[in-house]
Structure 1
């Protein structure tokens, strides 16, 4: 654990990115993620197999992008342990049918036991298509190589 706490912030961000890319759920969505101090940027290329019956991207893709971006903005501030989403609220503003969905996450408040973070979803034209905000609990689950937290 002390090794985790003594690493640089940049190493922590890269390890979080690697952990994220290795998660089984991401095989399907194929997202890319970049993390900084209290921030993250996630991109998902929209595909037709993400569509609902009316021909636009299903809300599950919006939720995944928004929650993941806010989550990793929050976890960027916590070395050594995993954070957990305790609540997340999402507002969908407009449909997206093609191009790249970008979710930009940022921390609003870092308190003792929880972090509040938001995410803004935009399309390739820079139009806001959704917005989310959530509470993230600081857990006792360690960040370890066994869960993909490695360079």
Structure 2
């Protein structure tokens, strides 16, 4: 792996962690070529009224892992989620939630990535897939990306 790509992965990780929404979730992230892994510790403030984690948390974990897997392969432009399909498999209310995303297809104009969310015991909680396209903003201008 080149030093340039290692720096790109580290810059993406900083960008992700500096996003204001992540002050709520306090995630951990690791990005490699065409893959991303994210983990969060579940808290009661992520629950819906029936006491389990709200579906929006599942979506965020799935989309973020797929998105950053795709972003690992695009060093210049900010990527955009064009569509994302989510399948919720089982509820969870505590412990750790981790997602793993990977790129499965790529053309000049779009990427397709899949992701899976697991609980702390390795049980599958949800899965999803999305289509991602290149946006107009340059990564170097994104908040947190260029900070060393």
Determine whether 1:70 maps to 2:66: yes
Q: Partners in 2 of 1:147 and 1:48 — Cα distance?
A: 29
2:136 corresponds, among 140, 144, 149, to: 140
Spell out, residue by residue over 1:84-140, the C-alpha distance to the aligned partner (whole angstroms, 9 max, x if none).
Answer: 000000000001111110000000011101100010000011000000100000122
The separation in 1 between residues aligned to 2:80 and 2:142, in whole angstroms, is: 18
Quote the Cα distance in structure 2 between the aligned partners of 1:146 and 1:43.
Answer: 23
Match of 1:16 in 2: 12
Stretches of structure 2 lacking an aligned partner (at least 5 in a row): none
Q: CA RMSD in A?
A: 1.3
Mapping of 1:2-151 within 5 angstroms?
A: 8-144=4-140, 147-150=143-146, 151=148
Q: Which runs of 4+ in 1 moved over 6 A?
A: none
> How many pairs were matched up?
146
Aligned-pair distance for 1:7?
Answer: 6.1
Please give the TM-score of this superposition, normalised by the length of structure 2: 0.95
TM-score normalized with structure 1 length: 0.93
